[in-house]
Amino acid sequence: MKKKVIFFDIDGTLYDHDKKIPESTKRAVRLLKEKGHHLFIASGRSPFLIQPVLEELGLGSFIAYNGQYVLHKGDVIYRNPLKQELMEKIYETADHHDHPLVFMGEETMKASVPNHPFIHEGIGTLKTEHPEHDLSFFKEHDIYQMLLFCKAEEEDQYEAFREEIDLVRWHEVSTDVLPKGGSKAEGIKRVMERLSYDQKDTVAFGDGLNDREMISFVGTGVAMGNAVNELKQLADFVTKPVDEGGIFHALTELGLIEE
């Protein structure tokens, strides 16, 4: 069998609802590595929030920020930061409506306000503390993604920016702000170019709305049993939920590992 390039989302895919990786998933990853497949994390998380997963699974390559930052074995092969002028305009709008922002760079993240319950609520689900307040940060560093904290019905306040950004909601009180057209699928294209692989030899696992482009693009798109319905409809295969051995089950059904 030709080796595959396999991409795993983290939250709700590798991580269960307690932010732990099931033992069956760890075993599946070990078996894939033994067979020589290329394994990548593909997450909306930042590089510094992906690092614990890489260490636990013994992986060294990832797509971060929903495709805006791609690293292969220690070498950054793609960067797509938000434009400075655009971020300043979005900040002005967000500040006017009392919507906090979190600016996400390569090594850390900073908040537009010193303390906000929406940031505590959203960031807290990632087992991460409220970032420090630092408005100079986004003016002095490359920012690959912003987190905008507002309710879904308030997103229309940002309609004027829709030609330059995509909003991808990941929490009741927060949405990702990405460069227009930025997605995990775009990151995967950069990996395919780097490794000289065809689309048909790519596999991806996901559960959320930010996995739509990735699941649609790869040769075999797998939706977790706990995935949103929209993703399940796009997938080639729907497996069991993450906490029921979903990744191991799918990989055996697809013939990529054996029991």
Residue 119 clears pLDDT 80, i.e. is over it? yes
Relative to beta strand 38-42, strand 5-8 is: parallel
Averaged pLDDT, 105-113: 96
168 falls in which pLDDT band (50, 70, 90)? confident
Instruction: Please identify which of the residues 9, 11, 16, 166 carries the catalytic annotation.
Output: 9
CATH of the domain spanning 84-179? 3.30.1240.10
Averaged pLDDT, 85-114: 97
Q: Show the 3-state SS of the chain.
A: CCCCEEEECCECCCECCCCCCCHHHHHHHHHHHHCCCEEEEECCCCHHHHHHHHHHHCCCCEEEHHHCEEEECCEEEEECCCCHHHHHHHHHHHHHCCCCEEEECCCCEEECCCCCHHHHHHHHCCCCCCCCECCCHHHHCCCCEEEEECCHHHHHHHHHHCCCEEEEEEECCEEEEEECCCCHHHHHHHHHHHHCCCHHHEEEEECCHHHHHHHHHCCEEEECCCCCHHHHHHCCEECCCHHHCHHHHHHHHCCCCCC
Tokens of residue 68, six digits: 């805006």
pLDDT score recorded for residue 54? 97
- Domain residue spans of the chain: 5-79+182-253, 84-179
Write down the pTM of the prediction: 0.88
Q: For domain 5-79+182-253, which CATH number applies: 3.40.50.280, 3.40.50.1000, 3.60.15.10, 3.40.630.40?
A: 3.40.50.1000
Active site residue 211: no
Q: Residue 223 — φ and ψ, nearest 5°?
A: -100, 135
Instruction: Report, in angstroms and rounded to the nearest whole number, the Rg of the chain calculated over CA atoms.
Output: 18
Residue 182 clears pLDDT 80, i.e. is over it? yes
pLDDT score recorded for residue 127? 81
Place of tokens 């307690």: 18
> What is the rounded CA–CA span in Å between residue 85 and residue 188?
28
Answer for the pair 15, 41: CB distance below 8 angstroms, yes or no.
no
Give the percent of the chain with pLDDT over 70: 100
Across the chain, what does the average pLDDT equal? 96
Chain segment 210-244, per-residue pLDDT in tens: 999 999 999 999 999 999 999 999 999 999 999 99
Averaged pLDDT, 63-77: 96
